[in-house]
Amino acid sequence: MTLPQDACPADIALVISDVDGTLVTSDKRLTPATHDAVRRLAQAGIGFTIASSRPPIGLKPLAAELGLTLPMGAFNGSTLVAPDLTILSETLIPAEAARTAAQLLAEAGLDIWVFAEGRWNLTDPHGPYIDLERRTLCAEPHTVAELGPLLDRAAKIVGVSADAAHLEACEATIALALDGQADVHRSQAYYLDVTPPGAGKAGFVNAMSRHLGIDRSRIATFGDAGNDVPMFARSGFSVAMGNAAPAVQAAARAVTDGNDADGFAKAVAEFILRR
């Protein structure tokens, strides 16, 4: 783990963590060390919540297991939900941008999922990564004949591919095509997320700052992917996981071990509680 001498956190009042690749292991588990770290934050009077590309339903098991009480950020922070999944605020992708995104994803040969109306919608129930997403969300997909009618109510659109290099290239191309109309980030090597413009995890940091009445300098953020970098920039202290790409690590104030080596718990102990 690395922490520059000038990067020691200030009086941290809130920790916001990404979920997949950060808080949970690669097989989507919360380890005993992670449970203990969240408990120790509470004992120290430091709030804790999560911001994830997952839909609200995918956050519910975590909220229950960790006893979360603060609002959570779903769909990369564009939808705020209470721990009981009550929607506190919701931003949707502009319809025209959603249609453009779906067309570009299809032209790139990607499988497409549309999260709308509280459901995980798709046309091919046997496509790649569906079993993984089913286990991750503890929810079943909703198979539809066409995704088009859902695009004017979409909270998130996902392009899915097992070809990580192709998906990386698609990210750059589609982000350029949708510049200013939607946010485009890979949340996993195999998922390319399209979410509402300017309403991502950075916005969630702002929302929690207002909700708790604390300055953003007192918020620490943890993440592993490109969609976490805006959250890093908006918070007072940021930690990248050891499994994060070099560019993500370079954007953070500190780097911890990987998500399969209890990096979150180690960073909480070393960077947040110890100081």
pLDDT at 108: 97
Q: Which residue has the tokens 């046309």?
A: 123
pLDDT at 3: 61
Spell out the domain ranges in the chain.
Answer: 5-90+199-273, 95-195
CATH 1.10.1740.10 fits 5-90+199-273, yes or no: no
pLDDT at 275: 66
Give the chain's residues under pLDDT 70. Answer: 2-10, 275
Q: Which residues pair with 242 in a beta bridge?
A: none
What number of other Cβ atoms are within 10 A of residue 147's Cβ? 19
How far from 155 is each of 115, 233, 266, CA to CA, in Å? 6, 24, 34
What global pTM score does this model have?
Answer: 0.89
pLDDT at 204: 96
Give me the amino acid identity at 234.
R
* CATH assignment, 95-195: 3.30.1240.10
Please give the span between the terminal C-alpha atoms of the chain, in angstroms, as a whole number: 15
Contacts of residue 194, defined as CB under 8 A and 6 or more positions apart, other chains included, come to 93, 97, 98, 101, 105, 156, 157, 158, 159, 174, 178, 182, 183, 184
pLDDT at 267: 97
